[in-house]
């Protein structure tokens, strides 16, 4: 399968390097010429889990330089979510007839692209493989995770199996007949574990000890899970059961729930949220495709998702520099101040007029 990897960042770089190392035909597309030149000069190097390797980069160029229609059988779209939405329409024409676009972002990206470009062009995927880019061309793989791929409409397909066989030469790949269920299971954790951690500036293990951290975690998770179920999705078990024990539209406190929470903490409790790194580096976050996707899906099914909405607004405010990661924000999301009190605290004159 002639393959193009768009985005030679952490995941794109690791997948591309490992494919090249087994002799696959792979081209890399960067955002700009500077990154392409740096990668061409340094070659690709991967360290960490999965084994070290060093290899020449082969064809690497800015995306704009790939213009010949019908060139690639597989395009792995490995940019951040907002960039994926921007570039995907220009990628469809680079696909050979029957070719596949494989977006590997979290949340709603693959579904959004399938709605835009058609199910026949887009195969769904998510990544449980993790890594970081140390500098262009130089990567570290940090776990032995896998890419999970599958048809967005569900079921099995010949192309899922072909793509699995092809990419399995480089990294672990699994196919699921319930990709949407897997996407939502990961989304439930991204919305709660990760976004709340980023807002608080803490790991989940640290924020869950605060009463407002624990309450916000459950309320965010409950709301997102209700939206998933209302949309007809059947969340798929990955590391942890996506439906908390005894769940009836909301989590029910008790020993079983405590044990479920410990499982989540053991799997995800100590990771620094990538969104927190986005805040620190002043980068756009993927919030629109995480909690924002929950809010949009809720709306589509005539529901409200007030907790996730408040979370999205808090992340926007942080990105705009109007607030900074702080554990006190968790309480403010749960218990927003009534407008009158807010005015009384900050502007006594207006408060009098209002009274």
The nearest distance, CB 233 to ligand NAP, in angstroms, is: 19
Residue 137 binds ligand NAP (CB under 6 A): no
CA gap 298, 203 in Å, rounded: 27
Helix boundaries (H) for 194-241: 195-200, 204-207, 211-230
- Which stretches of 247-305 are DSSP H helices? 255-268, 274-280, 291-300
Q: What are phi and psi of 295, to 5 degrees?
A: -60, -45
137 CB-near residues (< 8 Å, 6+ apart): 8, 13, 38, 39, 41, 42, 43, 44, 45, 57
**In the complex, minimum distance from the CB of residue 132 to ligand NAP, in angstroms, rounded to a whole number:** 6
Q: Residues 190-219 vs ligand NAP: string with x where CB under 6 A?
A: ------------------------------
Tokens 């995770």 -> residue: 145
Of 32-91, binders to ligand NAP (CB under 6 A) are: 35, 63, 78-81, 83, 87
Binding mask 235-264 for ligand NAP (x = CB under 6 A): ------------------------------
Decide: is 288 part of the binding site for ligand NAP (CB under 6 A): no
Distance CA 263, CA 339 (A): 39
Q: Which residue is nearest to ligand NAP (CB)?
A: 9
Given the rule CB under 6 A, which of 16-24, 45-53, 92-100, 128-136 is the region that contacts ligand NAP?
128-136
Q: How far is the CB of 195 from ligand NAP (least distance, A)?
A: 12
Strands 26-30 and 59-62: parallel
Q: Which of 4, 5, 6, 198 binds ligand NAP (CB under 6 A)?
A: 6
Closer CB to ligand NAP, residue 66 or residue 207?
A: 66
Closest to ligand NAP by CB, 35 vs 195, is 35
Structure tokens at 349: 């004159």
Which residue(s) pair with 53 in the sheet? 46
Residues at the site binding ligand NAP, with contacts judged by CB under 6 A = 6-12, 29-31, 35, 63, 78-81, 83, 87, 104-106, 127, 130-131, 133, 286
């Amino acid at each position: 399968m002639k393959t193009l990897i768009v985005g030679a960042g952490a995941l794109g770089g690791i997948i591309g390097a490992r494919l090249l190392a087994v002799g696959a035909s792979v081209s890399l597309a960067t955002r700009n010429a500077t990154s392409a030149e740096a990668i061409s000069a340094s070659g690709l190097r991967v360290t960490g889990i999965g084994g070290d390797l060093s290899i020449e980069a082969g064809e690497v160029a800015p995306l704009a330089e790939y213009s010949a229609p019908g060139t690639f059988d597989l395009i792995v779209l490995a940019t951040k979510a907002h960039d994926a939405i921007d570039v995907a329409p220009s990628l469809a024409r680079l696909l050979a007839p029957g070719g596949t676009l494989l977006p590997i972002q979290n949340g709603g990206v693959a579904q959004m692209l399938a709605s835009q470009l058609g199910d026949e062009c887009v195969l769904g995927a998510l990544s449980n493989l993790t890594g970081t880019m140390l500098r262009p061309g130089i990567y570290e793989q940090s776990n032995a995770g896998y890419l999970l791929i599958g048809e967005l409409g569900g079921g099995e397909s010949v192309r899922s199996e072909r793509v699995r066989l092809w990419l399995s030469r480089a990294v672990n790949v699994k196919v699921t007949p319930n990709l949407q269920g897997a996407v939502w299971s990961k989304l439930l954790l991204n919305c709660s574990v990760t976004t709340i951690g980023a807002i608080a500036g803490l790991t989940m293990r640290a924020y869950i000890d605060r009463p407002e951290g624990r309450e916000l975690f459950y309320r965010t998770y409950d709301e997102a899970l209700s939206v998933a179920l209302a949309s007809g999705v059947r969340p798929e078990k990955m590391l942890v059961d996506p439906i908390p024990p005894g769940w009836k539209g909301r989590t029910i406190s008790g020993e079983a729930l405590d044990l479920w929470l410990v499982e989540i903490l053991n799997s995800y409790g100590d990771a620094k949220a990538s969104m927190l790194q986005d805040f620190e580096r002043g980068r756009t976050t993927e919030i629109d495709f995480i909690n924002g996707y929950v809010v949009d899906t809720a709306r589509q099914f005539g529901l409200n998702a007030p907790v996730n909405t408040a979370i999205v607004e808090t992340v926007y405010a942080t990105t705009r520099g109007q607030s900074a990661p702080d554990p006190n924000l968790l309480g403010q999301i749960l218990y927003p101040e009534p407008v009158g009190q807010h005015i009384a605290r900050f502007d006594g004159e207006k408060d009098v007029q209002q009274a």
